[in-house]
Amino acid sequence: MAKIAVIGSGYVGLVSGAVLSDFGHSVMCVDVDQKKIESLKKGVIPIYEPGLDAIVEKNMQMENLHFSTDIQSAIEDNDIIFIAVGTPPKDDGSADLQYVLSVAEDIATHMQGYKVIVDKSTVPVGTGQKVKRTVREILDKRGVDYEFDVVSNPEFLREGSAVYDFSNPERVVLGTESQRALDAMIEVYRVLYLNETPFVTTNIETAEMIKYASNAFLAMKITYINEIANLCEKVGANVQNVAKGMGMDDRIGNKFLNAGPGYGGSCFPKDTKALATIAREHDEHLTLIETTIQANERQKLRMVDKICAAMGDLSGKVIGVLGLTFKPNTDDMREAPSLVILPELVKRGAIIRAFDPEGTKEGGWRFEDIEQHMTFCDDEYCVSQEADAVVLLTEWNQFRSLDFDRLKAGMKDNYFFDLRNVYEKCMLEKHGFRYYAVGR
Ligand code: UDX
């Protein structure tokens, strides 16, 4: 059993801490936010993530998992310290490292012996060395010479299936500079090691790069199929069948080939921008990634153009929107396509009626007065009341089996825009809808 402190109890920290405690380790999750820690101590989880509450409750009962605001004790009492604080984007697209480096300072200030310092946050290449320098400088100032190692251990969690992903990863990436740290990390992930999960052991910089290169590649793959979808619409091809045919080639793979309104979330938009910035700082241009970022922005607006092309002038038209979050099974609104698409619809004169099972109306809309043009409904059938069109924007399961007669009953007109390609044209037409999809 390892003694682990996880500093930062946000999305990554909380999931990592909870599952590591479930692996049998003793885990102390720390956060500066007193209110958050108080509610976590009562078993109240601040984010919507399926399965997380159950393992938090179980491991709190077994006393494997604890929550605290006392960073000093957490550092003194534990051998392995995970840094899982935020790295929000700065105006220039680069990642803001102030929270990561401030935790490094805390660790150096309070450590009394050997520590393994693990970077779990997604950080630019070179951060591991910055953390190392920061810790060394403070130890020097303290006049002590404790040994420590820095490890890069990027996470590949998908929101909505984060607990599963952490417990069943396709690989564990460990960037280390010493055998001692590597042995400690293999102990942390012993359960996975025994399961024969592949371990990629490498240096710190390579591990940091694996994370960015993976996320940017996936963002590029989605953008590629989105552009192919746009072309399919022009030439009369069906993008779903194109993706199926492409995906059967193992070299391409069938995942992440679903065309839609553009990728969002807390990772792809941020990581693609950060990677492009890292490249520019090193006098390199990642042209594919820079184009991906631009094409993804265009894709969101293209959805609005699609709606306008079908419906004409949107002035006074009522549009019912199903789903606001960037993907299903999360309450996360960060960089959700809805944040661009809905204000644009409103700008063009539309009135919105929206429903999302978890997404909030405080989501961060781009212009303030959008709320005057938007009603938040209590369920999926309420959005279609007096509506001219229904737009399926996020593919929550409950939108996959709609009662179309009920949906259509209160509508003024009969447009249905399926921006996630959930349904078939013939099915919707049978129920009297005019159906539009993406790339079909
Ligand atoms: C992603 C990565 O998958 C994960 O490995 C990393 O650690 C964090 O970022 P996440 O942001 O939770 O995870 O969501 P993901 O399921 O990857 O979807 C990202 C976005 O791409 C969503 O907006 C989704 O709707 C979109 N997407 C995904 C598509 O439009 N088409 C696809 O085929 C797949």
In tens, the pLDDT along 184-217 reads: 999 999 999 999 999 999 999 999 999 999 999 9
Dist CA 335 CA 349 (whole Å): 23
Dist CA 366 CA 342 (whole Å): 9
**Closest ligand 1 atom to 219 CA:** 21
Last residue of a domain, one of 152, 168, 202: 202
Residue 435, both tokens = 């159906």
Do 79 and 193 share a domain, yes or no? yes
Shortest-distance Cα residue to atom 16 of ligand 1: 158
Is 353 labeled as ligand-binding? Answer: no
Shortest-distance Cα residue to atom 7 of ligand 1: 156
Residue 91, both tokens = 């105006």
- Domain assignment present for residue 242? The answer is no
Do 186 and 316 share a domain, yes or no? no
Do 192 and 301 share a domain, yes or no? no
* Residue among 15, 16, 158 whose CB has most ligand 1 atoms within 8 A, to mutate: 158
Read off the amino acid at residue 51: G
Nearest residue to 121 (alpha-carbon basis) of 163, 165, 89 = 89
- In the reported structure, the alpha carbon of residue 263 is separated from the centroid of ligand 1 by a whole-number distance in angstroms of 7
Do 65 and 183 share a domain, yes or no? yes
Is 270 labeled as ligand-binding? Answer: yes
Do 49 and 194 share a domain, yes or no? yes
Strand blocks (E) in 79-210? 80-83, 115-119, 148-152, 172-175, 199-202
Ligand 1 contacts (CB < 6 A) are 155-159, 215, 218, 222, 256-258, 260, 263-265, 267-268, 326-327
- Domain assignment present for residue 380? The answer is yes
Shortest-distance Cα residue to atom 13 of ligand 1: 158
Last residue of a domain, one of 182, 202, 222: 202
User: What CATH code is carried by the domain that includes residue 140?
Assistant: 3.40.50.720
Q: What is the pLDDT along the chain (440 residues), one digit of tens a residue?
A: 999 999 999 999 999 999 999 999 999 999 999 999 999 999 999 998 999 999 999 999 999 999 999 999 999 999 999 999 999 989 888 889 999 999 999 999 999 999 999 999 889 999 999 999 999 999 999 999 999 999 999 999 998 999 999 999 999 999 999 999 999 999 999 999 999 999 999 999 999 999 999 999 999 999 999 999 999 999 999 999 999 999 999 999 999 999 999 999 989 999 999 999 999 999 999 999 999 999 999 999 999 999 999 999 999 999 999 999 999 998 888 999 999 999 999 999 999 999 999 876 666 655 456 778 999 999 999 999 999 999 999 999 999 999 999 999 999 999 999 999 999 999 999 999 999 999 99
Is 206 labeled as ligand-binding? Answer: no
- In the reported structure, the alpha carbon of residue 267 is separated from the centroid of ligand 1 by a whole-number distance in angstroms of 8
Cα-based torsion angle of the residue sequence 326, 327, 331, 333 in order, rounded to the nearest 10 degrees: 0
Is 260 labeled as ligand-binding? Answer: yes
Do 324 and 176 share a domain, yes or no? no
- Global confidence as pTM: 0.94
- In the reported structure, the alpha carbon of residue 381 is separated from the centroid of ligand 1 by a whole-number distance in angstroms of 27
Do 186 and 332 share a domain, yes or no? no
- In the reported structure, the alpha carbon of residue 36 is separated from the centroid of ligand 1 by a whole-number distance in angstroms of 27
Q: How far is CA 175 from CA 58, 149, 210, 238, in A?
A: 31, 11, 10, 43
Dist CA 104 CA 236 (whole Å): 56
Dist CA 357 CA 351 (whole Å): 20
* Residue among 47, 168, 221, 222 whose CB has most ligand 1 atoms within 8 A, to mutate: 222
- Domain assignment present for residue 226? The answer is no
Shortest-distance Cα residue to atom 20 of ligand 1: 263
Do 52 and 193 share a domain, yes or no? yes
Do 175 and 57 share a domain, yes or no? yes
- In the reported structure, the alpha carbon of residue 433 is separated from the centroid of ligand 1 by a whole-number distance in angstroms of 30
Residue 321: the pLDDT is 97
Strand blocks (E) in 236-377? 318-322, 351-355, 374-376
The number of domains in the chain is 2
- Domain assignment present for residue 121? The answer is yes
Nearest residue to 241 (alpha-carbon basis) of 216, 258, 227 = 258
**Burial label, 376 (beta-carbon count in 10 A; 0-12, 13-18, 19+):** middle
Q: 150: domain range? A: 3-202
**Burial label, 76 (beta-carbon count in 10 A; 0-12, 13-18, 19+):** middle
- Domain assignment present for residue 373? The answer is yes
- Domain assignment present for residue 55? The answer is yes
Shortest-distance Cα residue to atom 17 of ligand 1: 158
Read off the amino acid at residue 6: V
Residue 365: the pLDDT is 59
Active-site positions?
Answer: 267
Dist CA 332 CA 260 (whole Å): 18
Do 175 and 314 share a domain, yes or no? no
- Asked whether 419 and 345 are in contact (CB, 8 A), the reply is no
How many residues are recorded in the chain? Answer: 440
**Closest ligand 1 atom to 262 CA:** 30
Residue 122: the pLDDT is 86
- Domain assignment present for residue 276? The answer is no
- The CB-side HSE value for 175 (13 A sphere, CA atoms) comes to 23
- In the reported structure, the alpha carbon of residue 257 is separated from the centroid of ligand 1 by a whole-number distance in angstroms of 11
- Domain assignment present for residue 132? The answer is yes
Last residue of a domain, one of 175, 202, 229: 202
The total of other beta-carbon atoms located within 10 Å of residue 194's CB is: 8
Read off the amino acid at residue 5: A
